[in-house]
Each structure stands twice: as C-alpha cells, then as structure tokens.
Chains A and B, each alone.
Chain A
Amino acid sequence: MPDLLLELFSEEIPARMQAKAADDLRRMVTDKLVAEGLVYEGAKAFATPRRLALTVHGIPARQPDLKTERRGPKVGAPDAAVQGFLKATGLKSLEEAKIQRDPKGDFYIGLIEKPGRDAIDVLAEILPVIIRTFPWPKSMRWGARSGKPGSLSWVRPLHAITATFGLETEEPDIVKFEVDGIETGQTTYGHRFLAPAAINVRRFEDYEAKLLAGKVVLDPERRKDAILTDAKQLAFAQGFELVEDQNLLDEVAGLVEWPVVLMGSFEPEFLATPGEVIRATIRNNQKCFVVSDPKTGKLANKFILVANIEATDGGKTIIAGNERVIRARLSDAKFFYETDLKTKLEGRLPKFEQIVFHEKLGTQATRIKRIERLAAEIAPLVGADVAKATRAAHLAKADLLTEVVGEFPEVQGLMGKYYALAQGEDASVAAACEEHYKPQGPADRVPTDPVSVAVALADKIDTLVGFWAIDEKPTGSKDPYALRRAALGVIRIVLEQSDRISLTPIFQAAIALHIMRGSDATFEDIVRVVRNPTPNPTFLRKSGSIAADNLVSLIGDLLAFFADRLKVQLREQGARHDLVDAVFALGGQDDLLMIVRRVEALGKFLDSDDGKNLLAGTKRASNILSIEEKKDKRTFDGAPDAALYSLAEEKALAKAIGEVKAEASAAVAKEDFAAAMSAMAKLRPPVDAFFDKVRVNDDDPKVRENRLKLLNEIRSATRAVADFSKIQD
C-alpha cells in the first residue's frame, strides 16, 4: 500500500514548540485519514528547526465504497414526500427503491452507493485544511499576502510544502494542493549553511537519507543522542563529567539541524561565584552545558556548546566567540553576586512594603510578618528553636530582591542561603532560606531541619489560609497560586518528618494573623475569638480580607481539601482512598500522621479474614438498619435493653460489643491502631453467630426494636476505628 510523505519547510520554529507540533501533525493527519475510512499501518512525525515532517505508511490507495440504506416514505405516501425521497437518495424513480415490509405499513428503502475516492484526492482535500487550522501556540502572518484578509498563519513564514504519495516500487505522485500561494511539490532544502541547495525527494526513505547527506538530522531523538554522546565523550576525554540536563538537551536539539559539540573554557577565578549561579548563567543565557570535576563534584571552568555547523576552522572561531560571551555573562553574574553581598538581607526588607503580594492579601512585608509569627507558633510543635525559626522566616524571602535572583529566578532560596551564611547567620537559619520552599514538586525532597520545617509549614499554610479566606481556591485544572502543591507539601513534610501536628490550631493562628491586618486587636485576642467564635466580635467585622462569619466552615473546607490531597498522595503509594474517607468521616481528624497510621492499620485489618467478615457483618447490619429505619421512619439509637435478650447469640454479641468498644477506644487513645484493629477482630465471631441464629425482625415489636438497637451498636462500635460505611467492598 502507498505511503505519504509530508514536509512543511519554514523559517526557524521555536525549539519549545517542535515536539508538540510534530505530534499534532501526526495526530491530525491520521485522525482525518481514519475518519475518511483510510486505515493506515503506521505514522511517524519529526521536527527540526526548519521543518515539520510526517510519514504515514500503508494507506489504502482508495477509500472503500460506502453503501447506506435510507428509509423513505410509506408506500402510497403523498407525491411531495416521494419526490423528496428521490432527491435525497439520487434515485431516478421508485422502481429503483426496495420495499420493506413492516407491521406499521410498507416503506420504500433507497440504497445509496457512494464509491470510494482515491486516497490521494482525499489527502489533497484534508491536508490544506490541517495546515490552515494547525494549533500553533502563537502564529503570525508575513509577506505581501498578509495585506489581505484570510492569509495563512503559521509559526514563522512557511516556504515550501513537499507532499508525495505512492508505492515503494513506483515513482510517487505529488499530492496536489495549494495553501496561500504555496504549491506542493517534491523539493526541499538541506542545511541552511552547509547544504542550502534544493533537494528532490520521492518518499520518506530517500527523503531522510538525502537530508542526512544535506547535513540535516531529521529525527530529534537522533540529534539528542548525538549531542549527549559527544558531550559526554568530550568531557570525559578531558577528565571531566558532563552535568546532564534533560530540558537543556531538548531545547538545544531544537536549535540545530546538524549538531556539532565543542568545548570552551572560562577563567577559573569565576568559580568563586556559587556553582548554581554559574550554571544558571551558562545554561539560561547561552544554552550551554557545564561540566564537573568527578573527583570533587564541583564545577570545572569548562562549558560545552552545541553549534549548528561544521566550521571550516574546526570551530575555533565559534569557541572563541562563545567564550567571550560567557566571560562577559559570568563577570556580570560575579558582579551581581558581589554587589548582593554588600547589602545585608534584612536591609532589603523595607522594599517589600512596596510590593503587593496579592491585592486582597496585602504586601509582601505583611506576609513576611505573618510567616514569622506563624513559624514561631509552629516551631515548638516540630522541635525547632523559636528564635531561629522567627529569624529564618524574617530573612527567608529577602533574596527575592537581590540582583542574582532578579536575573535568575530559579536560584531563589539558594541565594538566600548563601547570603545568610555570608552574613554569619546560624546554619539552620541559612538552610531554611533555601529549604522553606521545598518540596517544589512530587520529586523534590522535603526539608528535615526543624527550623526549615517550621518556616516551610508557615509559608505554605499562610498561603493556603489566605487564598481560602478570599475564596481563590483551585478549581478543575486551574490552580494559579499552586495551592494543591502547597497542601501536598504540608502533607509530605508532616508525614516524612513523622511530626504530630493538629492542623486546626495552626489554621486558626494563620487566620488570626490574616485578620490582624485589618484590625487593631492583638494576635492573642483574635486567636482567642477564632478558637471559640462568639457572634460578631467587632474586630472580626472590621477585617477587610476575611469573611469572618465563615471561620468554622473555612477550616472545615480547608481540612477537606487536605483530605483530598492526602487521598491523592496515598493512592499514588498504592493505598485505598476509601479508607482515607472512612477515617476522615469520623470527624475531628486533623492530625495527618495519625490519619495515615489509622488508614494503614485499617488496610491491614481489612486484608485479613476477620476484617473482611467484620466489614461484611457491619454492612449487613447497616443495610438492615437503613431498610427498617425507612420503614419505621425512625432511628434505632440508644442502648438496647439487656432484659429483652432471649437468645445466647444476642447476649454474646452485646457482651462482645461492650468489651470491644472499651478495648478499641483504649487502644485508639494510646494511638495503637493495630491493637484497636485486633480488638475489632474479636467482634467478628459473635456478629457472624448473631446473623446465623437470630431473626432480627421478630414478631414481638419490642424484641425487634431491641435487636435493631443492637445492630446499631455494631455500627457504633466500629466507629472507634473508622466509619465502615465509607469503605468500598
């Protein structure tokens, strides 16, 4: 079966857009082919800076013929209906129609045959539409045609379209179409500088080979492999190690058609600047790799660049040029770094009074004050020194205003640490300047130093509470303030540190700090009211940012958000999310570590036979109860009457419930969830025996009521560990 070759040859396509564009091209063309009944065997798309290319092989030469039946009017229907039917089906007369017998009356059936078209004609129809509607993130118009409406938009000016279709053994045909004055053909061009001449191509195989001869490596993966291999070798040959960087590799591979890897160097004096700053300078500004000394792990005074040409002087000029630029950039960076060192971090803080964090949440300066106070509240809970935590929170954001961070935002935090150390801060305080941002994502590590933990939690919880208070919660895919990440960060820090923290009091403190901004009351006064809301204290009403009447629901809502995040987190670790629900449903659960321990114990218990059966028994009890409750329109709360027990199984169950409840509650109080589950296990035999031998709906209404109350007791006994009704089978 024939193959399609399509190439869209343009001016330089931004590196970051290439991979998605290749993928979009493949998807759009193949989807259309399938929709047109042309089921292909395989497709692959490629991108270089100057071209998008697609090969689809094994396309049928023709569409299959389509036969459809169309139901017409009843036999004997008025002439207008018959004429309409003939027109719609293209039949000449009713003689050509079939008649279908039907109990409701006989109908005419028209058989429409739509002969399949040649695939090349279908392609000529669909390809221009795809080109015109191609989803570039940003596209542009150009040239004389852009003076008229409806001119083509492309990522950068499009110059040529190669489109051929045919069998391997034959000379392929050109898929003839035209887009905004560009007619398809089979001419492309090699490397801009090394082989600019026109190349005549037939099909994908010779296309790829001729491009290679024309110094163009079509496949981005091959370019990446070549760059990585050469870069590693070049570094290794000189006794260094390449500092690998996947994002940079992806980008660089999108900037060259013919990668040539070269190594340059810079003055060793620059190595006095922090390695991260050197790397950021060389990487962001120059798109070059850095190398390290394998013995020390520290950066070496070398860099690796990827050129797009084989220069006639072997690359000497290119290396020298890049060295000049990198030298200038590094001396800027060094200058920034040294300038930064001249100002103490706290000296930068007044500027934060001019910087708005969020219109409704005040300036960065007020935010820093809140974090300081909140970190002081949290410090004792995580074993951190209060003074150090306060100091760290005071300084942690200051590096945002330094020259280096202004230039390279990705080293925020890290620079704070360097500057804090340079001005003689305590090591924990300095570390917190960097670590309080962590974890930045699921792969990032969490802080471990208690001072960092206190500031990290304070920073994140202040953000969460603040945005919750002004009702800027994440919705669907929108989470502009990264609140999900912040909550997940809190969860991971608490769990990985095994910290015992009740979130509610911290949320309350954070809320109080937000309220303080619009109030003249003291923190202590506000916190007292937040913790025991009395109706409408005046200073709550004065507060600008917080909807004071919703304090309780705000905390509940935020805890539910944490529960959701925790579910996601546990699910990723393979735990059952319904167990999280079963534990949260108990209410008052705001100690993440205890929740997780309970979920773990519950999970283990439910994996055992005792657990499974007890769950089944409890569910059975619940089902019976809900049916009977509905029937009687009442609940069966309250203690059963021991005098009404007539069967041994009833008595045994009642006794077991009493014992298990006491034992499980005691174990839960000691936070020994495994013991609580073992206690629960003792409930299983009497529950099973009860359902075996006892008829709940006894004829005596009093006995029935008593037995239903007993069932209710099973349900309430299990609530010592979890709400079993939330557990899925």
Chain B
Amino acid sequence: MDASLPAHMRPERSFQGFILALQRFWAEQGCVILQPYDMEMGAGTFHPATTLRALGPKPWNAAYVQPSRRPKDGRYGENPNRMQHYYQFQVIMKPSPPNLQELYLKSLAAIGIDSAVHDIRFVEDDWESPTLGAWGLGWECWCDGMEVSQFTYFQQVAGFECAPVAGELTYGLERLAMYVQGVDRVYDLNFNGREGDAKVTYGDVFLQAEREYSKHNFEVADTAMLFEQFKMAETACRKYLDAGWKDGKREAHLMALPAYDQCIKASHVFNLLDARGVISVTERQSYILRVRELAKACGEAWIHTEAGGAA
C-alpha cells in the first residue's frame, strides 16, 4: 500500500480508492488499463478484451473494471450483498506469466490485505462458461474463508484451444472492499472516502438502481420485446459474421467485433428472460446453446483477424 496517499484515497477507506489502487498496481505490471465495455454483460469475461483477446498467439495484458449485470441476483436492495449490478475487476495476461500467483498476492497487499495476518488460500475451482464455450482450471482465492477472487488459466475459449494460455483474475470488488472497510452491508461502503456531509456511500450511488432494476428484471421487463431482441441479435450476429469474411473467402475476417457485440447482447437478453421466469428448463438449455454457437462463430472470425493473429 502506498503510504503517501491521502486518507480519502486509501483502499481501506474508499471504494474508488480501492479500484484506483488495483488499476495502478496492474498498470505497473504492464497491463493496459481499459475502461468498462459499453454494453450490458453478466461478467467481465464477456468483455472482448478477455473473450476474444484470449484467442490467438499475440501477447495481451489488460486490466479493467466491468459492471456485471445478473438480473436474477437482484434483491430489491434488501440483501446485504446480493445485487443485480456489481463491479468485477478483471485482469488478463497472455501468455500467463510464471509468477502470476505472486503478482496476485502482491495486488492483495496493494489493497491492504496483509498475508502475515490473513489466511490466503487457493482452493480448487474449475471454471466453465457454457455460454462462451470456454473452460479453464484454477482456484477460488480465499481470504479468511471468504472467496475474494477467481483465478483461471484459460484452456479453451469459444471452442478454440488457447495457445498460449492466458491467466485471468477476477476480483469481486464490493465483497473485497466490504472486507477491507469492515462493513457488513454493501450499501454501507464508503464510496468516495470522505466523512461527514462529504461522504458518499455505495447505497447513495446504487440503492435506488437496485430497487428499480429488480422490479424491472423480475416484474416488468417486456418479454415480448426481449424474445424479439434475442432473435434480432442472433440474426444480426450471423449476418455480420457472414458479411465479414474478406472477399467471401474464409481466410480473413473484417467484422468479428461488431458481430461479437450482438452475441453479448443475446446473452444479456437471455439473462433477462430467464429472470422473468419465461424460459422453461428444457428451453433454457437450447438458449444457452444458441448463444454458445454465436460465441464460437465469433471466436472463429476473431482468429482470422489481425489482432486474432491471422498472418
């Protein structure tokens, strides 16, 4: 931790200071610090900077905050730590550096978690994303019995082998910050690190949104429109993929990113439909499969682009 920081910027005092400390730490490790992707998604992994950049031979080191939308997890602002919108901090390093575990532990130190008094553990957790056609091996990282991060060595993404393998770290920011700040309710997090009248809490920023979106997600979201949107996104994705092949030959692709946006869109629309309870158990599988097919097709297009490593 940087002792020179003013109190309101310290990671144990302020949520934003906490995020800045992580960004600064990973910037110093050579990561590009990106801003959140401008689309709704269920996890930082969906960001093209992870999903697509994990594929292909080119080195890639990036870190970013990604707002994550999980419509089903909304609790109308009444649960102390479950929300339909929260932040993930995502790090991806390709190829995975040999000291990635050490870097991770140093990053914890940078946000005030001292391994001399905290019990930090790497507990087996195999990661799999059926919607992304992706899997990897790694751990849940525990701090004093609490899962604070996910640590994964990507083996496959969008149905393609990762070569080389990327290492992915995902920090649950609110949960970690709650631990560091010592609060039991996420809405009590000090957001800006100020005290008295100047203090802004997480609740001040997000509580109203949690209530509104919970109502929207569970009760009101227009399912007819959403079903339509899913179809439209799926169709558009296919259309852009088809149109992206240069000269109509499957050698080089020129539109993987716009196509992938539609895949992200379809995935989020599916999550909303799921939260509205209008998708039956059997249908659920088939929707997941449809999104996966899009993700796979996007992955295939990506590896035929310049950044995807096509010669």
Contacts and interface: CB of A to CB of B under 8 A. Distances in A.
Interface of A: 11-12, 14-16, 49, 138-148, 155-157, 159, 193, 255-256, 286-288, 305, 307-309, 311-313, 316-318, 320-322, 324-326, 328, 354-356
B117 A317 contact: yes
Interface stretch (B24-32, B34-42, B162-170, B243-251): B162-170
Given A312-B116, A318-B117, A355-B281, A11 B144 contact: no
Contacts of B137: 138-140, 155-156
B148 to A, nearest CB: 10
27 contacts: A11-B122, A12-B139, A14-B124, A138-B126, A138-B137, A140-B155, A142-B96, A142-B153, A143-B98, A145-B164, A147-B95, A147-B164, A157-B153, A255-B121, A255-B123, A287-B145, A309-B115, A309-B119, A312-B116, A312-B117, A316-B117, A318-B117, A318-B119, A324-B146, A324-B179, A325-B144, A356-B282
B126 A321 contact: no
Nearest to B184: A324
A319 to B, nearest CB: 8
B80 A146 contact: no
B81 interface: yes
Interface in B104-162: 115-124, 126, 136-139, 143-146, 153, 155, 162
A138 B138 CA distance: 11
B143 A193 contact: no
B118 A318 contact: yes
A169 to B, nearest CB: 37
B184 A317 contact: no
B121 A308 contact: yes
Contacts of B118: 311, 317-318, 321
Contacts of A142: 95-96, 153, 165, 167
Interface string B271-292: 0000000001110000000000
B203 interface: no
Contacts of B101: 11
Which residue among B96, B101, B124 has the maximum number of chain A CB atoms within 10 Å of its CB? B124
Contacts of A157: 96, 98, 153
A16 B124 contact: yes
B54 to A, nearest CB: 12
Contacts of A15: 123-124
Contacts of B258: none
Which residue among A142, A317, A318 has the maximum number of chain B CB atoms within 10 Å of its CB? A142
Nearest to A144: B95
A307 B146 contact: no
Given A146-B95, A311-B117, 18 more contacts: A11-B122, A15-B123, A140-B136, A141-B155, A142-B165, A146-B162, A146-B165, A147-B164, A255-B123, A308-B121, A311-B116, A311-B118, A317-B117, A318-B144, A321-B143, A321-B145, A325-B144, A328-B81
A322 B124 contact: no
Contacts of A356: 282
Contacts of B116: 193, 309, 311-312
A321 B163 CA distance: 39
Given A311-B116, A354-B280, A321 B97 contact: no
Interface string B48-78: 0000000001000000000000000000000
Contacts of B163: 141, 146-148
Contacts of A355: 281
Contacts of B153: 140-142, 156-157
A287 B101 CA distance: 22
Contacts of A313: 117
Nearest to B81: A328
A145 to B, nearest CB: 7
Contacts of B184: 324, 328
B145 A193 contact: no
B221 to A, nearest CB: 22
Contacts of B145: 286-288, 305, 318, 321-322, 325-326
A15 B121 CA distance: 12
A159 B98 contact: yes
A321 B180 CA distance: 10
Contacts of A322: 144-145
A317 B120 CA distance: 12
Contacts of A139: 137
Contact of A144 (B115, B123, B164): B164
A610 B211 CA distance: 87
A141 B165 contact: yes
A317 B119 CA distance: 9
A171 B153 CA distance: 39
Nearest to B280: A354
Given A140-B137, A159-B98, A312-B117, A146 B144 contact: no
Contacts of A49: 122
A542 B184 CA distance: 61
A139 B145 CA distance: 26
Contacts of B162: 141, 146
A352 to B, nearest CB: 12
A279 to B, nearest CB: 16
Contacts of B280: 354
Which residue among A146, A193, A356 has the maximum number of chain B CB atoms within 10 Å of its CB? A146
Contacts of A143: 95-98, 164-165
Q: Which 8 A-B pairs have the closest CB atoms?
A: A321-B144, A14-B124, A147-B164, A12-B122, A322-B145, A307-B119, A146-B165, A140-B137
A143 to B, nearest CB: 5
Contacts of B123: 12, 15, 255, 287
B115 A193 contact: yes
A139 B153 CA distance: 11
Interface string B84-106: 00000000000111100100000
Which residue among B95, B139, B282 has the maximum number of chain A CB atoms within 10 Å of its CB? B95
Contact of A317 (B80, B96, B139, B144): B144
Contacts of A308: 119-121
B143 to A, nearest CB: 7
A309 B105 CA distance: 15
A309 B280 CA distance: 47
Contacts of B179: 321, 324
A197 B139 CA distance: 24
Nearest to B139: A12
Contacts of B98: 143, 157, 159
Nearest to A15: B124
A147 B117 CA distance: 38
Given A138-B137, A317-B118, A147 B126 contact: no
B83 to A, nearest CB: 14
Nearest to A317: B117
A537 B179 CA distance: 70
A521 B122 CA distance: 60
A16 B184 CA distance: 32
Nearest to A156: B137
Which residue among B155, B281, B282 has the maximum number of chain A CB atoms within 10 Å of its CB? B155
A147 B184 CA distance: 44
Which residue among A140, A193, A255, A313 has the maximum number of chain B CB atoms within 10 Å of its CB? A140
Contacts of B122: 11-12, 49
Which residue among B97, B122, B136 has the maximum number of chain A CB atoms within 10 Å of its CB? B122
B34 to A, nearest CB: 23
Nearest to B123: A255
A328 B281 CA distance: 30
Contacts of B80: 328
A354 B146 CA distance: 36
Nearest to B164: A147
A322 B121 CA distance: 13
Nearest to A159: B98
Nearest to B116: A312
A625 to B, nearest CB: 63
Contacts of B119: 307-309, 311, 318, 321
A287 B95 CA distance: 33
A555 B177 CA distance: 64
B21 to A, nearest CB: 20
